[in-house]
Amino acid sequence: MPRGPLIDVPELIALMATPSPPTLLDVRWEFGAPPGGPAFLAGHIPGASYVDLYGELCGPSGDAGRRPVPAPTEFGAAMRRHGVRADGPVVVYDGADSTGAARAWWLLRHAGHRTVRVLDGGFAAWRGHGAPVETGPATGPRHGDFTAAPGGMPVVDADGAARIARAGVLLDARPAERYRGGGPGDGAGGHIPGAVSAPTGEWVTGQGTFLPADEIRARLHRLGAGAHPVAVYCGSGISATHTVLALAVAGVAAALYPGSWSHWTKDPRRPVATCAAPGGTPQPGPPE
């Protein structure tokens, strides 16, 4: 059964056999690991094209943050190189948990593409199903016609994130240690005052597939969302798109703070909070 922005392996196989198969984008990537190009060459879904997350789905580091949204012209050109069509379906996948795929999904949806879905469980699910695998570089010409027109997904800036932290629910998608002020990160340790710790890895199972929609809604309710507006941030705006995707599975439209913590901490006047444990009482922390 279709799950909103997700697609499973049997449905993808059926879609690939239609007269209008989807454009397949392989966005395999892991924190701290080299780009997924070698993994793509070793095996990928037949017909897929490899997308470099850092090189094609992020702009250069600067005032907008460490991994900002790429310029529309550059993003559109990259998607055309990979064969993305304005009126054709797109399916994106990564290794398993959809963190990298969620970034591609969000950017395409934000840029105006209407039919983008994420392979739930990624390449691991594809292999586990016994589906065919292709090796070597991508084959065939890539001549897409997609033009990026931003505005398709809700976003907030730093002031908007602060407002939602006060009047709605601002989710911090980073690991809980970084929310509390420990671990490596950008600028000061801690979190945006009023934000709620919600590590993005908790929206998926141990196999990397998303939790059912009712479980996602129940967890969101426990985090205090209810009918309040929701926004999400992380360290640099990548893993937060995974949380936005998880909430979309449950039918909840969440805004993204694209610059996230790497942008927030660039201004020393912005407050920083720490607490003893997620959900504890925030205490002021020294901004850097």
Point out the residues that are catalytic.
234
Sort 178 into a burial class: Cβ within 10 Å, 0-12 / 13-18 / 19+.
Answer: buried
H-run or E-run covering 41: helix 37-42
Give the Cα separation of 253 and 244 in Å (integer): 7
Strand partners, 231: 170, 255
Sign of the torsion angle spanned by Cα atoms 167, 173, 176, 178: negative
- The C-alpha angle with vertex 179 and arms to 192 and 111, in degrees rounded to 5, equals 65
Mapped onto helix, strand or coil, the DSSP state of residue 196 is: strand
